[in-house]
Amino acid sequence: MTAPTAHADPAYACADEACLDGVELSALARRVGTPCHVYSASAIRQRIEAPQKALHGLDARICYAAKANSNVAILQLMAEAGLGADIVSGGELWCCLHAGIPADRIVFSGVGKTAEEIADALDAGVARFNVESADELQLLQRVAAERNVIARASARINPDVDALTHAKISTGKSENKFGVSIDEARDWFTNGTALTHVQLDGLHVHIGSQMLSLDPIRAALRRVSEFWRELAAAGHTIRSIDVGGGLGVCYRAGHDHPVSIDDYADAIREALAGYDGRILLEPGRWLVAEAGVLLTRVIRIKRGQQRQFLILDAAMTELIRPSLYDAWHDMVPLVDKSRPLQTYDVVGPVCETGDTFARDRTMPECKAGDLVMIKGTGAYGASMASTYNSRPLAAEVLLDQGRYAVVRRRQTLEEMVAGEQAAHDWEAT
């Protein structure tokens, strides 16, 4: 079996889409099997470096949104680059710590933190909590008091700004479940002296994901800035302003036009001019999405009365975004480009009509066994995967300058059901 080829080019650039980070994808697929998620370490490092340069001179910390891709190898790349993490569960806390991200670089977000999760985060020593409700604020106070520690917290404000993105990933409108109104947050600060074990000294905002315009970002930053200045004038010290994440990426070539990272940094500098505390950023998708692809093979072509179905061995179990969000992902058959063009509905084998990657997609003619690359899957691909239809989780592979390493082996059927058992031991409540 042929091993993936390492290219001699020092930059490990590829002449065409048949290789990634210096590794031949067809050879990789033969070695690892399909479907499999593939990530370029070089591309991720380049993405990390770009905002670090753009934010030079600011007291800014990038906290990678772990939900985008929480594979330990990806988290280790973030740790090695000095990034922190934005987490939304106790599981993500464990994964980030396990990967080497220090607790004092971790911020804990999310509307449903439990007492147990808060306790674990306090014991670990996380940097701060982004608090999303009055009930959570009181729970944080109680759990911190039980441990006789001071929890540092930021109020997540909901600025009622439309992120101009898909409704299911919009988080900054008043109808969304995230954050609180500025009026409610103002009351928190006014009554903050009652919080004996919570130091409320930060603001947080995150209005949505896959944003391709700076306009809603500027609007949210402007409201945060105005509120910070109001609080400062009232004598409240704001040591941290978390501007969230949400920058969009290019899923559809020629159609999606992502915001320039330099323009984004300039918008932050302009809105927070004069602020001398720490600025936190929470990019997730932007750091990893375009660094990943999903390799899959054609099972067969099914010719219906009105449509041709290109049936792949990948499914909504490996990439649910098209089913969940009607999301577009560019697809590239790794075949001879001189083949005639055909139009397909691209689908998976799962028994759901929603297991559809694309409709009326035109591409070079495909045959059973051909390799297809689905692009832009480094974020919210593997992290949203499932074993529906009893399909074991796919392998994940990290590429780095002509080398590859399997960073999640393909799940076996035995591993898939390892936590299950027959009902032998019955107990009464």
Q: Of these residues, 14, 36, 351, 366, which one is catalytic? A: 351
From 19, 33, 20, 23, select the one nearest 3 (Cα to Cα): 23
Site of tokens 């505390």: 277
Q: Are 185 and 157 in contact (CB under 8 A)?
A: yes
Is 351 a catalytic site residue? yes
From 119, 221, 131, 225, select the one nearest 178 (Cα to Cα): 131
User: What SS3 state is found at 364?
Assistant: strand
Lookup: tokens for 318:
């490996």
Q: Are 295 and 25 in contact (CB under 8 A)?
A: yes
Q: Are 39 and 322 in contact (CB under 8 A)?
A: no
Per-residue burial over 266-283, b = 16 or more CB atoms within 10 Å of its CB, e = otherwise:
ebbbebbeebebbbbbbb
From 293, 255, 278, select the one nearest 104 (Cα to Cα): 278
Any idea which residues carry the catalytic annotation?
351
